[in-house]
Amino acid sequence: MSAVATGPVATGRNLGARIVDVFTSPKSGPVLVTGVLFLLMFAVGGVRYRGFLSGQVFLNLFIDNAYLIVLAIGMTFVILTGGIDLSVGAVVALSTIIAARLLQAGWSPGVVILLILAITSALGLLVGLMIHVFEVQPFIATLAAMFLARGLCYIIAKESITIDNPFFVSMANVRIPLGYRLSITPSVIIALLALAVAVWVLQYTRFGRTTYAIGGSEQSGMLMGLPTSRTKVLVYVISGFCSGLAGVLYAFYTLSGYALTAVGTELDAIAAVVIGGTLLTGGYGFVLGSALGVLVLGLIQTILSFEGSLSSWWTKIFIGALLLVFIILQKVLTSRRT
């Protein structure tokens, strides 16, 4: 008779099997790989560059990318349903130029921000209705919205407009102390609050469960009685809202509005979401993973700035390589589970 392994050996094997299962799961595996990658990159940067391993360098990742975190939040909702939103970069530009023009005309900052969020949410609603009611492919519907938003930018103003409103200037310059020589900006707080709300919505509400269900199988969601039609429209409203909020944060960051702002940023947002572990086909993913993906992209830029001798185009090369690796990883993990 063969002996059955017991005690510490069996426990060790069980633990090892559980770790392998977690890392090979299409749900959690890509996120964990992204986390390990981030830690390795940070460690390599700390070994290679003096002053890299500091709390403020880490916090600067949030300060410089607060708007992109918010943008990735909205993109996560869309991609979880199996959709895509190519309009977010143009909507960010539209938000900044609306803010700059209206503030220049003497409008109240609070009214301007609320108006921007209303306009961008309405644009997201229009896109969602195009996709649901008229069955337009998300790629085409959001491409049309991208051209619309970018065209409106040029109608409002062709030149860059400086923002000198006291509230926006204070939001750009204020630092919230966190300890010895450590600080963040109000934009980081706003981005983290948006992240917390998104986590709660996706994990603990019926809307969140329906979002995942649409990406997994929309037909099955309908048979279960889930409001798939309404949810499919609302995810684009959320993406539009997040794009408007990201535009406001970008206006805080740059204190300007310009028609060519955020060209290609939609691709950065998509890359962050995919690198953060969300499947492009929908159904799997975490909004926290998308935020981690943004930090990875920010860390690449930080390493290149510390290096000094490399062209900024290397950022795009590294992002492209990472994106390809994570798409292949997702394909492998999902195929092993089917």
Quick one: CA torsion of 259, 265, 267, 268, rounded to 10 degrees? 170
Give residue 213's pLDDT. 93
87 in a structural domain:
yes
- Least Cα distance to 85 among 137, 151, 135, 30 occurs for 137
Mean pLDDT of each 10-residue bin along the chain, 338 residues long = 53 64 66 88 90 91 97 97 96 97 96 98 97 94 97 94 96 92 95 98 95 87 85 97 98 96 94 91 90 94 82 77 81 65
Contact 65, 297 (CB under 8 A): yes
In a domain, 144, yes or no: yes
pLDDT tens, position by position, 35-64: 888 999 999 999 988 888 889 999 999 999
- 3-state SS string over 160-194? CEECCCHHHHHHHHCCEEEECCEEECHHHHHHHHH
In a domain, 17, yes or no: no
Query: Is position 28 within any domain?
Result: no
Residue 338 lies in a domain: no
Query: Has this prediction a pTM greater than 0.85?
Result: yes
**CATH code for the domain in which residue 301 is found:** 1.10.3470
Is position 69 within any domain?
Answer: yes
Q: With respect to residue 27, please indicate whether it lies within any of the assigned structural domains.
A: no
For residue 192, how many other CB atoms are within 10 A of its CB?
16
- For CA atoms 207, 232, 27, 198, give the dihedral sign: negative
Does residue 40 fall inside a structural domain?
Answer: yes
What is the pLDDT, as a whole number, of residue 15?
66
Pairing of strands 182-184, 161-162: unpaired
Are the C-beta atoms of 22 and 141 separated by less than 8 Å? Answer: no
How many domains would you assign to the chain? 1
- Terminal C-alpha separation, the chain: 36
Expressed as residue numbers, the domain containing 161 is 34-324
13, 21, 27, 78, 220 from 18: Cα distances, Å: 9, 5, 14, 31, 30
